[in-house]
Amino acid sequence: MSKRMWVALLISIPLTAVLAQDVATDQRTIDQEHTQWIQRVLRTISNIKPGMTRQSLSRSFEGDGGMQFRSNGRYAYKHCHYIKIDIEFSNVDDGPDFSPDDKIVKVSRPYLEYPISD
């Protein structure tokens, strides 16, 4: 092996270690950002309480695809349709139409599921 090759090898070893460390640091930063985002989503979901209205739910969630009923439904987080909750409502009137004033009775724990489309 020539002297140039030895020099190149000796220089590349520390450089490779530095680059590997940078990649690991970048991944930790990305992981922290993902964790913080999930924490914000969970906080948003935990703020949804019985007694709130369908309209207040619509700020962060929208009806998932498929059949939806006035008394209960599956809702997807607007910023990531894989995050879902099930909601039960009490209707404010006897009409068949969804009302923004329907009251939330029960909120499920959040779960992950593929989006459902019609």
Name the helix (H) or strand (E) containing 91.
none
**Contact 73/109 with Cβ under 8 angstroms?**
no
pLDDT at 15: 56
| Per-residue pLDDT tens digits of the chain, which is 118 residues long | 676 665 565 566 665 665 566 667 788 899 999 999 999 999 999 999 999 999 999 999 999 988 888 899 999 999 999 999 999 999 888 888 899 999 999 999 999 999 987 6
Tell me the whole-structure pTM to 2 decimals.
0.75
Backbone phi, psi, residue 74, to 5°: -105, 130
Domain boundaries, the chain: 3-112
